[in-house]
Amino acid sequence: MKLVDAMQKFDNKGFEFSAVRPETLGATEYTLVNIVIDITGSVSPYSGDLLKMQKAIIEACQYSPRSDYLLVRVVEFNQKIKEVHGFTPLSSIDINQYQEPTCFGGTALIDATYSSVNATNIYSKTLTDQDYLVNSILFVITDGDDNASHLTTSDIITEMKKSISGEYLESARSILIGINPGQYSSYLKKFKDAVGFDQYEEVSNVTPASLAKLANFVSKSI
């Protein structure tokens, strides 16, 4: 899924991201939604569930009263970070274009989370400099394991603080969504506490009821 009228940027660690050009936007305020999805070997039994969860989040955004003011970016990661698409208006997203991920490889969870926070900060500053009001919300879907990152959780924390202290975000929320928490609860708790996520939600079994609960939670968060 590629952006039309996109600009390419690099964050301060060399991770590339893309975003719709500000001059093509019509409103005066936007919420930047980052969805970061673990596609490593340890979550391979849940590849179909990951797609369902991603679609549930997007659908919740589409039903939100603020749907016209959402710019969404989706990232998948194993030992590498792959941008599925950059920040794009929600109305431009065809949910049927998302595909079930092929899960393999190591886990650069910290790097992926950091790069998404940093991309949000860089793009929000671009928007703020052009007189937009900007908020952000970050969703990280993972089992919490990490064995391939070069950065630390301290780097994430530093970047999160910049978003508000730099005065280019009105508000910033971060939400950790744990998959397979029964086996990986200690990893998830450690990552949640180390980063200081605003909220933590577990999805033990991906059923219509749990997806509906997730969608309701996402809608309220936005």
**Tens-level pLDDT at each residue, the chain (222 residues):** 444 445 566 555 677 899 999 989 999 999 999 999 999 999 999 999 999 999 999 999 998 889 999 999 999 999 999 999 999 999 999 999 999 999 999 999 999 999 999 999 999 999 999 999 999 999 999 999 999 999 999 999 999 998 878 778 999 999 999 998 888 999 999 999 999 999 999 887 788 888 888 888 888 887
Residue with tokens 């928490």: 181
Q: What is the DSSP string of 42-60?
A: GGGGGHHHHHHHHHHHHHH
- Amino acid found at 28: T
CA–CA gap between residue 218 and residue 192 (Å, rounded)? 18
Q: What is the pLDDT of residue 96?
A: 93
62 backbone φψ class: left, alpha, beta (φ>0; ψ -120 to 50): alpha
pLDDT of residue 4: 42
State residue 87 phi and psi, 5-degree precision: -60, 115
CA distance 119 to 98: 21
